[in-house]
Amino acid sequence: MREEEKKRTSLQRFFRKRWVFPAIYLLSAAVVLTAVLWYQASSNDVKDQITDNGNETSESNTNDALEVSKQVENVKMPVSTPESVSVITKFYEADATQEDKEAALVNYKNQYSLSKGIDLAEKDGKEFEISASLSGTVAKASKDPVLGHVVEVDHEDGLATVYQSLAAVSVAEGDKIEQGQVIGTSGKNLYNEEAGNHVHFEIRKDGVALNPEEFFNKPVTSIKQASTEQASEEAKEKQPAEEPAPSEEPAPSEEPAKEDTEEKGKADEKGTEDKSGSKDSSQVEEGSSES
């Protein structure tokens, strides 16, 4: 008991000192201030991290936007030297002149077929390099016994370009190619022997062939727009013509009018009376003559 009383007495003496409570207050204030400063520092670190992430996101968005803008290419002629070639076989257009239609026919084994693309050749008939009209992925690179070497390139959204009558090919299936990259050289084929050394080039959208000459030096988006317009026009043409509305003439009445029936009955009765009267008079006359 005495030890406990001594401890209490010593504690009382300690707290009776003037500097004890101010020291406790200062220590508490220091602890609170330290906690506040630590909280502010941690908050600033979080904000900096969020800002950095935001900057990274904005930079990635900017990079994505730049990549998208790079993908919008203008359609180029599929040759390294466009000024040295000319179109020797045109794309067959249904609404073209008769002369252009004849120029867009290909004779193979005495049978004429419609040209689904264009044929390009140099004026002197020499071999020339073939380059990619648009960037894309090689979907096909093979040799056909009639068409020669054939390269088909996919450009997403159902768009594809086709190169035929190549003498040699420098790409393989699955290759990623850039616009203007050399993919082969021109050559001859059996399908269009009259064209000589040339390249046959096609643009297809969702499997439908389009006239390449309409899109050279134009954005690739113009192909999609033209394909949409063509599809809408074809849909309108396929719609059946509206049938004229039936005339609303009243149907003829099957039963005769009541008045007409009564008049006809009276007329019949009158005719009967006339006949009977005439018969009686004739009998009277015969009787009188016999008498």
**pLDDT tens digits, one per residue of 49-67:** 655 655 555 555 555 554 4
Per-residue pLDDT, 30: 81
Which residue is associated with the tokens 């005719």?
271
Phi and psi at 75, nearest 5°, equal: -70, 125
Q: What are the b/e assignments for 213-225, b being 16+ CB within 10 Å?
A: eebeeeebeebee
Count the Cβ atoms, other than its own, within 10 Å of residue 141. Answer: 21
Domain ranges in the chain?
22-60, 82-237
Per-residue pLDDT, 286: 38
Count the Cβ atoms, other than its own, within 10 Å of residue 108. Answer: 14
Q: What are the b/e assignments for 160-170, b being 16+ CB within 10 Å?
A: bbbbbbbbebb
Per-residue pLDDT, 228: 75
Alpha carbon 259 to chain centroid distance? Answer: 71
Indicate the angle between helix axes 2-15 and 20-71, nearest 10 degrees.
70
Q: Cα separation of 23 and 213, whole Å?
A: 92
Q: For residue 26, give Cα distances in angstroms to 23, 38, 269, 273.
A: 5, 18, 141, 147
- Over residues 109-135, the pLDDT tens digits come to 999 999 999 999 998 899 999 999 999
Q: What residues form DSSP beta bridges with 205?
A: 159, 208
How sure is the predictor about 235, in pLDDT bands with cuts at 50, 70 and 90? low
Q: pLDDT higher for 233 or 91? A: 91
Phi and psi at 53, nearest 5°, equal: -65, -40
Per-residue pLDDT, 284: 34
- Over residues 174-226, the pLDDT tens digits come to 999 999 999 999 999 999 999 999 999 999 999 999 999 999 999 999 998 88
Q: What is the mean pLDDT of residues 153-164?
A: 96
Q: Cα separation of 65 and 83, whole Å?
A: 34
Say whether pLDDT at 25 is over 90.
Answer: no
Q: Cα separation of 63 and 68, whole Å?
A: 9
Query: What is the fold, at CATH topology level, of the domain defined by 82-237?
Result: Glucose Permease (Domain IIA) (2.70.70)
